[in-house]
Chains A and B, each alone.
Chain A
Amino acid sequence: DAKTTQPPSMDCAEGRAANLPCNHSTISGNEYVYWYRQIHSQGPQYIIHGLKNNETNEMASLIITEDRKSSTLILPHATLRDTAVYYCIVSTDKLIFGTGTRLQVFP
């Protein structure tokens, strides 16, 4: 079973920040937090990952709480093309996909 809990769906207005939460209260010390997304039925796409510190790349930012029991993926300026299912995964190597959050970006 997936070790994360995510809301099943969220909406976001185009141009606004999309903040996607994830709870992973049973995360162990050597497990990373990964985020992937899947647009329609395409192959999942890696977004970002982190261990303890907040991370930022060209796609998104990842904020991990100090106790590491939850995290938030931030898409700073959502576009229509960001409409997808977003998966939060905690892992050392093997990916276990849950059902993710379906993000709908609207005009």
Chain B
Amino acid sequence: EAQVTQNPRYLITVTGKKLTVTCSQNMNHEYMSWYRQDPGLGLRQIYYSMNVEVTDKGDVPEGYKVSRKEKRNFPLILESPSPNQTSLYFCASSLPSYEQYFGPGTRLTVT
């Protein structure tokens, strides 16, 4: 089944403890991206990747890192999480200029 998977789905952590949210797609898509969703603000793009080893900042990249070493994986790294990064995170993938497929979401709470 074609899908985008994210892990973990739920995470509660403490300020400053490094964490990684994984994202994987099985559709051989070149394009992948990360969004965060906050009440009243809609979905905002954090980082995106046009292909392996090609990443770029989205609208709200501060406090996040990404890597794209393989086509199927696009992990989101929070080196030193802070409470303002408490949010719902979505990973998405697509062929260039085609519709995006979204993962199920990761709900992160930073205390």
Q: Is the CB of A93 within 8 A of B96?
A: yes
Please count how many residues in chain A sit with their CB below 8 Å of the partner chain's CB atoms: 19
CB of B90 within 8 A of CB of A43, answer yes
Q: Which of these binds chain B: A10-18, A21-29, A67-75, A97-105?
A: A97-105
Within 8 Å by CB of A43, from B45, B96, B105, lies B105
Chain A 27-53 per-residue mask, 1 if CB under 8 angstroms from chain B, else 0: 000000010000001111110010000
Whether A41 contacts B88 in the complex (CB less than 8 A), given A2-B42, A97-B43, A100-B42, comes out as yes
Bound-state Cα–Cα, A41 to B10, Å = 13
Q: Which residues of B contact A99 (CB under 8 A)?
A: 40, 42
Task: Determine the interface band of chain B, counting residues with CB < 8 A from chain A.
Answer: 20 to 34
For the A-B complex, the count of residue pairs with Cβ-Cβ distances under 8 Å equals 44
- In the assembled complex, B86 has its CB within 8 A of some CB on chain A: no
Task: Tell me, in angstroms, the Cα distance from A92 to B48 when the chains sit together.
Answer: 15
What is the chain A residue whose CB lies nearest that of B96? Answer: A93
- Interface residues of chain B: helix, strand, loop or mixed (majority): strand
Q: Does B74 contact A (CB under 8 A)?
A: no
A29 to B72, CA, bound (A): 33
Query: Which B residues between 43 and 101 are near A, CB-CB below 8 angstroms?
Result: 43-45, 48, 88, 90, 92, 96-97, 99-101
Determine the distance from Cα of A87 to Cα of B99 in the docked complex, in whole angstroms: 13
Given the contacts A42-B104, A43-B4, A43-B102, A95 and B45 also touching, CB distance less than 8 Å: yes
CA distance A100 to B41 in the complex (A): 11
A-B pairs with lowest CB-CB distance, top 3: A43-B102, A46-B99, A97-B43
Query: With A34-B99, A97-B43 given, can you name 15 additional A-B contacts, CB distance below 8 Å?
Result: A2-B42, A41-B37, A41-B105, A42-B104, A42-B105, A43-B4, A43-B90, A43-B102, A44-B90, A92-B97, A93-B96, A94-B45, A95-B45, A96-B45, A97-B35
Residues in B lying within 8 Å of A, measured CB to CB: 4, 31, 35, 37, 40, 42-45, 48, 88, 90, 92, 96-97, 99-105, 107
